[in-house]
Structures are given as structure tokens and as C-alpha cells.
Structure 1
Amino acid sequence: MNERGLIYVFDGYCAWSYGFAQTMVDVAAAHPETRVEVLCGGLYVGSARVPIRQLGDVRATNRRIAELTGAWFGDGYERLTADGSFVMNSTAAARGFAALRRAAPERAVELAAAMQEAFFVDGRSLAEPETHRRIAQEYGLDAAAVVAGFDHPWSLRAAEADFARVRRLNVVAFPTLLVDTGDCPAAIMTGSGTAHQVEDRLSVLLGGVGRHAARE
């Protein structure tokens, strides 16, 4: 599949994206020869930026995600969101991811997963530079450069460029995984799924050329 690429659309604050994170890490590891472009979707922007208590029964949704995917919502996250006042800002999250992605583009899938773990397990706001500093340090990246990038106007432009690209791809649900066949990217997975399911869909879509390394 090296002549084609994958496009992974997620949002740092999307719980369903968090549930899919390990699947995406496994898929990327199974296809080291394949380019994976990671884009931020922009779930909580504009009027969607409201206190978490206004988003319905978030805990019920999280329980469902945990049942389907095995994802764990940590004590730090529970403390941060307990009173319902926390406001998720996807633009800030995308700025942080842009800075991390710039530091290590070949590790974008891992960094996306690490960013979501910082929020959904440790309860660290993705609007705080310190969150992204910690991730950079954990992955052996230039933490000072990542923080500087987060604070620089270019990261806002990068976030907005991601959101615009996602709209052009007609992606409206997160996470979505697409395969770029050189013409019109085709969605192969939305919401939740295992690495085996992704491999099966890749194999069908690409005429049996998908590898099944994730099964091994």
C-alpha cells in the first residue's frame, strides 16, 4: 500500500477518537511503509464550545466507548470534568497538535494518541502549553520548540488549515479513517473499530493488497 496513503481525522477532545486511538496506532505500525496524514477535525469550536455539562450524558457515552473499545477514562479526567464546568476548546488542542506534529511528523499518530491520553486519562487541559511540553519531553522532542510553536500564530493557521481540509474531505464525524487512492479519498472506518476490521476493509477496498500484519 506504499503508493497510497491514509488520512486519519480525529479531534483531541473527541472521546470516540480516544477510543479509536490504539487501533490507529496498531494500523500505522502494521504499515510502516505507508504515509499517514493526521488532521484535527475541530469538534468543539465556535458555538460548540460550551461547559461539558451542556453536552448531554457524557459519562454514559464514555461508558459505551469503554465497553466497545476497552479505553480507560482516568481519575484525572474524572476530577477535571466532575463539576461540568470544563470547556473543551478544539482550536487550542489543534494548535498543540500542530506543534507536536511539526516536531516529529513521522510520529503524528503516536502523538495524537498521547495527547488524548493526557486529557482522557490524566485530566490535563489541551489548552495548556504545559500539557504539550510534557508530551514533547516524553517523546524526546524539543519541548521548548513545541511550546513556542503552540504560542505562535502559525499554529492557529495550521489548526484552521486542518479544519478547512477536513471540510473539503466532507468528514463530519470523528474519528474517520480514509484511504487516499490518488483520486477521491474513501472513508474506511468511522467511529469505532479494531485493527483487524480496518485491515479487512483495506483489503477489500484495495483489491486484496492490504497486509494483515495487525493479525500477527
Structure 2
Amino acid sequence: MASTETASLTYAFDAYCAWCFGFGPTLRAFAEDNAHRTRIAVVSAGLYAGARALPIAAHPHLSAERGTITRLTGATFGTGYDRALSRGTTVLDSAAAATGLAALRDQPGISELDATEAMQRAWFVDGRSLSDAEVYRETAVALGLDADAVTAAFDSPAGRVKARADFRTLRRLRVLSYPTLLLDTAHGADQLGGAGSTAASLTAALDQRLTTNIPQALFHALPSQGEPS
């Protein structure tokens, strides 16, 4: 019999990761199917941080990757994103995006998946920079949050501290690619799946973990996904 305890999961995510955008509907379906027994925390990665925080033109692989992701996941990229790719001037700064997620995530009553989906729509559909505080103000309003509190948190130095803490968490967990969904266990972080998973395969993996006492090995990176700097 499967455990009735609530399982804690960690979603390793980068708001600028196109594979994460493609994985979003799968994760949403899995979360809804297993809402009675799971709690998912979203942790930001530093895919485009430090020396990799450059204009989109410096990452030419993104244009080709777009078609592959659409073919494999059905993700629909918006005209705003297409324009941003064509202009090539938007700086992809994962530290700013992680700060924005932290600002949203800290608000009472927030659904972390709702926040991540809103951020992904802002970039991959509308082509809006995730370094723009107005994106988080509008997201806060749409999610019924305190917009002033969210923008103040985004502008606060403490927000960057929380972003760096997210990066350290994923390094400590040895996450090497995104998206990755992990089950938190007494033995460490155990990978359930990533970009190539379906909601059904994630549920099956969770069933297996919750019905065995055998410690699971730490995960291995999946191919063809966003990788950290």
C-alpha cells in the first residue's frame, strides 16, 4: 500500500530554461494528480548567472533549441519571445530571475508553481525581461498578492541573497541539468524525472519510491536539457 504521508519534492528550475518551459505542463499535471500526497518547493538555478549573464545573442543555440522543444514537448513559444530572439539584446540574468521568484515565493498564500508559470509566460510567450521589476508587480496583481511587497522584495539586497542561496542548494544536491524533479528522502535527494518525463511516469516513479524502503541513489543528469554555468 502506498504511503499516505505528504512527500516533499524539490523542483530544480531556471526561469530562462526553455526545457523547463516545455516541462511545465507535465509538472502541473503531476502536481494536480498527486496534490493529496505531495508538496513541491521550487528552487532556482543559475543557468545564466555570472559570466553567462549575457545578451540572448550570445546564446545562439536557443533559436535551434526552440524547435526541438516544441517538437518533443508541444510547448508553444509566443511572438514576444520570437521578437526577443530576433533582437538579441535582452540580457539573460538568472540571478535577477531567481530574485524575482524569491520575492513571489515569500508571499503568503502563494502557489510556487503558479509563480513559475507566470514568469515563464512573461519570457517565453511575451518576451519580457525577467530583470524588470514591473514583470513581478504585474504577476503579483494577477496572483492576488501584495504588489508593493513583491517589488520591494525584488529590489531588496536580501532578494539577491536568497537567489544565491537557491544556487548553493542545487549545487549541494548535485543537480547538473534542468528541469529536474527530486524526492526529498532521509537518504538524500532522489531524482524522479526531468524534461523527458510524462506526468504518468513521474507518478509511477513516486509510487515506487513511496512503497519501498530501499535507499535510492543520487540522481544522474539527463541529456538535452539546460545546464548550469
TM-score using structure 2 length:
0.86
- 2:34 maps to amino acid: H
Structure 1 residue runs of 5 or longer lacking an equivalent are 209-216
For 2:223, the equivalent position in structure 1 comes to none
Large movers: runs of 4+ above 6 Å:
none
Q: Is the 8 A contact 1:19 1:192 kept in 2?
A: no
Percent same amino acid at aligned positions? 41
For 1:21, the equivalent position in structure 2 comes to 24
| Cα distance in 1 between the residues matched to 2:109 and 2:66 | 29
Q: Is the 8 A contact 2:90 2:129 kept in 1?
A: no
| Cα distance in 2 between the residues matched to 1:66 and 1:174 | 16
| Cα distance in 2 between the residues matched to 1:104 and 1:23 | 25
Say yes or no: does 1:123 pair with 2:122.
no
| Superimposed CA distance per residue, residues 73-110 of structure 1 (whole angstroms, 9 cap, x where no aligned partner) | 10111112212222200000000000000114650012
- 1:11 maps to amino acid: D
TM-score using structure 1 length:
0.91
For 2:59, the equivalent position in structure 1 comes to 55
1:28-177 alignment, distance < 5 Å: 28-33=31-36, 34-104=38-108, 106-177=110-181
For 2:196, the equivalent position in structure 1 comes to 192
State the shift of 1:3 in Å: 3.8
For 2:12, the equivalent position in structure 1 comes to 9
State the shift of 1:70 in Å: 1.2
- Say which is worse superposed, 54-63 or 159-168, in terms of deviation: 54-63
| Superimposed CA distance per residue, residues 138-163 of structure 1 (whole angstroms, 9 cap, x where no aligned partner) | 11111111001100111111101100
- 1:127 maps to amino acid: S
Q: Is the 8 A contact 1:17 1:191 kept in 2?
A: yes
Cα pair distance change 1:105/1:10, threshold 3 Å: farther
Equivalent pairs, count: 208
Cα pair distance change 1:192/1:110, threshold 3 Å: farther
| Cα distance in 2 between the residues matched to 1:52 and 1:81 | 7
Q: Name whichever structure is richer in helix by fraction.
A: 1
State the shift of 1:197 in Å: 1.7
Q: Is the 8 A contact 1:149 1:155 kept in 2?
A: yes
| Cα distance in 1 between the residues matched to 2:109 and 2:181 | 18
State the shift of 1:57 in Å: 2.9
State the shift of 1:194 in Å: 1.8
| Cα distance in 2 between the residues matched to 1:22 and 1:41 | 19
| Cα distance in 1 between the residues matched to 2:134 and 2:196 | 30
| Cα distance in 2 between the residues matched to 1:192 and 1:89 | 25
| Cα distance in 1 between the residues matched to 2:123 and 2:91 | 12
State the shift of 1:51 in Å: 2.2
Structure 2 residue runs of 5 or longer lacking an equivalent are 213-229
